[in-house]
Amino acid sequence: MYQTKKDQKPHGFTKKKTDLVKIIPLGGLEEIGRNMTLFEYQNQILIIDMGLQFPDENMPGIDFIIPNIEYLTNHPEKKILGVIITHGHYDHIGGIPYLIDKLNYPQMYTAPLTKGIILKRQEDFPNLKKLNIQEISSGKKIILGPFNIIPFHVNHNIPDTLGLAINSPAGLIMYATDFKFDLHPIADKPADPSHIISLASSGTTLLLSDSTGAESPGHSISEKTIMDNLDPIFRNAEGRIILSTFASLLSRVQQAIWLSEKYNRKVIIEGFAMKTNVAIAEKLKYLSIKKGTVIKWQEASRIDPKKLTVLCTGAQGESEAVLMRIVNKGHKYLRIQKKDTVIFSSSVVPGNELAVQNIKDNLAKQGAKVYHYKMLDIHASGHGYQEDLKAMINLVKPKFFMPIHGHYSMLKTHGELAESVNIPPKNIVIATNGQIIELSKNKIIATEKFVPTNYIMVDGLGVGDVKEVVLRARQTLSQDGIFIIVALIDKKTGLLHSNPEIISQGFVYMKESKELINQTRKLIKEIINHSTSNNAFNEEYIRNNLRNKIGLFLFKKIQRRPMILPIVIEV
């Protein structure tokens, strides 16, 4: 099995090879999110997805991370044939507003629901030009230069998710985006295995397949099971039901609406993103809602709490989401009551465990009955588990295999699953972001060549202006605080004009650290007197001396080194 770039030595291909296709992942490997993959043939490029990744706890102030597209923008000879978006989740569409202008607005292709979500989000960026989006559907062919593409329907936890059968000079490439096999999906139809078999019947050169669920044994849970488990909760609830989930999880929204209608409950939908997605899905007839089911808060005040369901965002403990506002008593209309039932219908995204636990604790303290996925199956992953992933490989029967979408351990496990269904180890490539994979009909090579894929961080309106040095400074501030020194220096004598002022934020509480502050102030005087001993005033030299020596002194005293900001003024 090809494990890393070090295992490979590029050989056997030259530019004269007419069947050579390059595959370049700009994101989505060794991580969750930021999905974007390039397929290149003789400088003609097909792009699949343009997603974002959410930051971890070590990235203070960062909103999210998007793919680096230097490989495209720095090479004007590269012609972008089009962009195909597989489905409407932000880890596949979230980078579009930040990248599309730099790519000069190439033609985009996607399914109707995904198109609606993309265009609605684009309204938040009025400075951008109108997007060129052509609707596509399962079985309908798209021809983009040397790539002849047929989408195929797969199940995920959002409707209109499409895998791609890409006929290329290197043969058939099957691209299985986020998927699972579900015989009883909600707000969707089951995937058609016979269609996938038919597309692959002429022989598949390469399968690229989602690895997010590769470490989970068995089959992923059907949405029918979720429906069956939610039913008694809705039937027996003594008060209001507050169901919190992802804004894009339309299957769960549909289930909650159907169960509310079954038990004569009215529904309120809270959260801008959820309202937006529901409106788009209902307009396109992906959701079935009876007239009068969904109401506004003005009507809710007249309804028995036993007859009310609230659907909202915030199951990840997000500080600004609806559920957090409810718990913190900051919601305009809703307060938790003792007979309320709160359902967390989502798994916990890694890194959010503490925030979710805190919100569950607060709900319990306020008297609500809380249900979550560890208590019973009230959430199903949208990603196939091991048996689903093996089923896809068996349907497609590829010569070569490349796991995508997941951390390294997930990719490696998926590669081992491929081995278990008779894919030879030498035909399995486990790549990393930016690595150029060279594919022909008879060979696949993970080369030693890489394109830039470093993080491009979005902070408010700033895109890419937060570099590693800025991030490190923010990390220092968040961990050890800031220590500000204000020193006025007499122009004539070169000595301190008055006692230096010290401000500590997030480092020590000054009223309780008087001895440390006095010792520091004394050292500041000594440093400045030494730095201006020839009556020469060099502001940069003084600041550097203060920063280095005070930092070392504080670290020796309490084993922490804050960010030190010396302000030196000549008077």
Q: Across the strands, what pairs with 554?
A: none
Residue 461 included in any domain: no
Per-residue pLDDT of the chain (571 residues; tens, 9 = 90+): 434 444 444 444 444 557 999 999 999 999 989 999 999 999 999 999 999 987 665 555 567 889 999 999 999 999 999 999 999 999 999 999 999 999 999 999 999 999 999 999 999 899 999 999 999 999 999 999 999 999 999 999 899 999 999 999 999 999 999 999 999 998 889 999 999 999 999 999 999 999 999 999 999 999 999 999 999 999 999 999 999 998 889 999 999 999 999 999 999 999 899 999 999 999 999 999 999 999 998 888 888 989 999 999 888 877 778 888 888 888 888 889 899 999 998 877 666 778 888 888 989 999 999 998 777 777 888 999 999 999 999 999 999 999 999 999 999 999 999 999 999 999 999 999 999 999 999 999 999 999 999 888 776 555 654 455 554 555 555 566 788 888 888 777 777 777 888 888 777 777 778 888 888 888 888 888 777 766 566 778 888 888 888 888 888 887 777 878 888 887 7
Same domain, 254 and 278: yes
Same domain, 326 and 259: yes
**454, 479, 513: which is the final residue of a domain?**
454
Same domain, 285 and 143: no
* Residue that is written with structure tokens 């289930």 in the block: 255
Q: Could you give the CA distance from residue 346 to residue 243 in angstroms, rounded to a whole number?
A: 10
Same domain, 490 and 393: no
Same domain, 266 and 136: no
* Residue 545 · residue 527 · CB < 8 Å: yes
Domain assignment of residue 26, given as a range: 5-218+381-454
Residue 511 included in any domain: yes
Number of domains in the chain: 3
Q: Could you give the CA distance from residue 347 to residue 372 in angstroms, rounded to a whole number?
A: 8
Same domain, 28 and 123: yes
CATH of the domain at 412: 3.60.15.10
CATH of the domain at 274: 3.40.50.10710
* Residue 163 · residue 152 · CB < 8 Å: yes
**What per-residue string of b and e applies to 453-491 under the rule 16 or more CB within 10 Å gives b?**
bebbbbbeeebeebeeeebeebebbeebbbbbbebebee
Residue 525 included in any domain: yes
**pTM of the predicted model as reported, rounded to 2 decimal places:** 0.79
Residue in 542, 565, 193, 226 with CA at minimum distance from that of residue 382? 226
Cα–Cα separations (whole angstroms), residue 309 to 243, 361, 375, 438, 514: 7, 21, 21, 53, 56
Same domain, 511 and 444: no
Residue in 190, 171, 194 with CA at minimum distance from that of residue 179? 190
Q: Could you give the CA distance from residue 36 to residue 34 in angstroms, rounded to a whole number?
A: 6
Same domain, 213 and 260: no
> Is the torsion defined by CA of 502, 506, 508, 509 positive or negative?
positive
Residue 474 included in any domain: yes
Same domain, 500 and 533: yes
Residue in 107, 113, 109 with CA at minimum distance from that of residue 130? 107
Residue 463 included in any domain: no
Q: How many CB atoms within 10 Å of residue 266?
A: 19
Residue 256 included in any domain: yes
Residue 376 included in any domain: no
Q: Could you give the CA distance from residue 213 to residue 385 in angstroms, rounded to a whole number?
A: 5
Same domain, 117 and 133: yes
Same domain, 212 and 227: no
Residue 184 included in any domain: yes
